[in-house]
Each structure stands twice: as C-alpha cells, then as structure tokens.
Amino acid sequence: MDHRDLLAEYFASQNGQQTVLGSLADVREAIMGPIEHLYVSNCAHVNRPYHEPLAAEGDIGDSKRALLQFMIAATPDDLVLQDILARYDDYLSKMVSSFETHFVGDYSIMIEHIDNVPDTVNPVKAKLAYVQVPKGDRTVLKLVWKVCLMDCGRLGIGTNDMCTV
C-alpha cells in the first residue's frame, strides 16, 4: 500500500463524521496536492541507493565520486538516476577536471571545475571545506567536498548555491 492508498483509506473512514464544505474531490485535491509535494520533496529519495563507499574512513576521496553520489541523491529525474546507476563507471570516466587557483592574502585556494556531470548544464565547482558535525557531547571538524552547481533549477538549487557532499 503506498501513501495515496493510505490517504484514500483514511478519507473513506471519515465519511459521515464531519460536514465537508465543497465537493469531496476538491477537498481531497486541496489536501493531496501539498501532501504529494511534501512526499516527493522529502520522502521519495529515501530509498535511493548509495552506490559505493566514497573513501575509507578518514580519507576524503575523489571529488568526482562524491559529486556523482550527490547527483544520485539530488536528481529529480528517475530516468537519469537509473542511467547513472547503470553506467556509473562510464559517467565517472567522462567527467573532466580543470583547476583554478584563487589567492587570498598569503594563502591560495584550489577550485576544481568538473565538466560532463550528469543532469547539469554548466561545469560544477568543487573545493575542500570543513564542516562542524556533532559527535557525542562534542563537535568535531570533518573535511568534505563543497560543490557549486551553477543554474541547476531542475534540482531546486539556485545559482551559486553550495552543497556539501
């Protein structure tokens, strides 16, 4: 039984217990529309697979593998998802990197530009960053890949948004 069947069963059990203003179909659509959106936005991706481990514990791994795993989780298109899973190594081998150095004072920051990323229209920028994560009763720093998807409206991500992978 999926979520629509459960809601339909619930509505059937409610007949006669309250007065519905407007048609029952209008009420169901008014409720099902937002619920369907919430389900697709928050729950539909839960069963998406994690393809393979990104790296051994403590190893940051390859930015392309991290990015491809992110695209598996982020793409709204199930056909693209299935294609990535079916041809994972092919997509991985087609992604090409170039590097750009930004100088900030006495320090430099390396930014990787990754081309040929599935379900994107522009190169993706990737750089290493630290995030704070809870670990028991304390907070630790974890090294992660931060990616910038340019103009990925299909993914619900705006221009220059950074996503931590």
Strand partners, 138: 135
Q: 133: Cβ–Cβ under 8 A, 6 or more apart, which residues?
A: 139, 140, 141, 142
Q: Is residue 67 part of a domain?
A: yes
Task: Check whether residue 80 and residue 118 sit in a common domain.
Answer: yes
Task: Check whether residue 72 and residue 150 sit in a common domain.
Answer: yes
Residue 43 banded pLDDT, cuts 50, 70, 90:
low
Task: Check whether residue 69 and residue 8 sit in a common domain.
Answer: no
Amino acid at 143: L
Residue 9 banded pLDDT, cuts 50, 70, 90:
confident
- Residue 123 tokens, joined: 């190169």
Task: Check whether residue 67 and residue 40 sit in a common domain.
Answer: no
Domain range for 18: 3-45
The number of distinct structural domains making up the chain is 2
pTM: 0.61
Task: Check whether residue 106 and residue 145 sit in a common domain.
Answer: yes
CB of 86 closer than 8 Å to CB of 121: no
Task: Check whether residue 86 and residue 152 sit in a common domain.
Answer: yes
